[in-house]
Structure 1
């Protein structure tokens, strides 16, 4: 595992990191996509809020059970031992967003319309490119940096506690 103060170092931190990223992502990406699909209005936003808890659970499960394992294997082929933090983060974010946006373009439509249909497949490429673009930039410039900042602060606090115990 690549060690960096901006990344989780144990399971507890991993859960916190996932919670931060997923909560920010679901609360920003879904309303933007719904707004672009149905128009930006208070009514559409309130309707989106109703499905966010279900979408959040789906996102967390997909990250842990599908995207994580797939991206872990793909990442090894693209990132070498000498590659830096930014390259690793960029590739990881890119691959995670590709996998999740493909799945959520389909599943999100089903949850949003409350029915399983062929509709997400009929306009898949149009919808997927838009969804990917929205998700990628939110992950890259909002959700991931906030989660990495939280990890950095946690590790700095732990380091200062250790230093104060060992003068």
Structure 2
């Protein structure tokens, strides 16, 4: 996928890509999950907003330190050399969302309740499938496409600039 315009080409673009996805994800997934748990209301949404900055930091750290390395190990076992861009992106989303939703189904309630308890672990089999579903569809339909579109626009702009210098 070298030269793919929809993906970051260097570390700086990788950070931008991660920022776009993580900000969109945390600001949509958390309110939806909390709304499904506690009901959709202005008060619940405002409570969620208080926790979002902490969740964003946790999500970024989990992506960089846990999900990214694990997915990097597992992906090559499932992807073949003839698999296309969309198949690779879909598997990447499924694997990342699986890892993150497992971890955040426990960590998220701890942060939201501001205390560590066994409750999220006891309710894990009840809450994880819902959390996975919400996160998967938001990643697939909102966060990832917007981030890839942003990369495509950035690369088109860079290409126009470099063409201007070659003339």
Is the TM-score greater than 0.5? yes
| Residue in 2 that maps onto 1:118 | 118
Deviation at 1:84, TM superposition (A): 0.6
Whole-Å separation in 1 of the counterparts to 2:3 and 2:30 = 31
Q: Do the aligned partners of residues 100 and 121 (structure 1) sit closer, same or farther apart at CA in structure 2, a change above 3 Å counting? A: same
TM-score by length of structure 2 reads 0.98
| Residue in 1 that maps onto 2:8 | 8
Whole-Å separation in 2 of the counterparts to 1:2 and 1:90 = 18
1:6-59: per-residue Cα shift (whole Å, max 9, x none)? 000000000000000000000000000000110000000000000000000000
Whole-Å separation in 2 of the counterparts to 1:110 and 1:129 = 18
Whole-Å separation in 1 of the counterparts to 2:74 and 2:159 = 33
Whole-Å separation in 2 of the counterparts to 1:47 and 1:90 = 32
Whole-Å separation in 2 of the counterparts to 1:153 and 1:58 = 28
Deviation at 1:3, TM superposition (A): 3.9
| Residue in 1 that maps onto 2:156 | 156
| Residue in 1 that maps onto 2:106 | 106
Whole-Å separation in 2 of the counterparts to 1:26 and 1:8 = 21
Structure 2 residues not aligned, in runs of 5+: none
The Cα RMSD (Å) is 0.9
Whole-Å separation in 2 of the counterparts to 1:79 and 1:9 = 20
| Residue in 2 that maps onto 1:68 | 68
Whole-Å separation in 2 of the counterparts to 1:3 and 1:110 = 41
| Residue in 2 that maps onto 1:53 | 53
| Residue in 1 that maps onto 2:95 | 95
Structure 1 residues not aligned, in runs of 5+: none
Which 4+ runs in 1 deviate beyond 3 A?
Answer: none
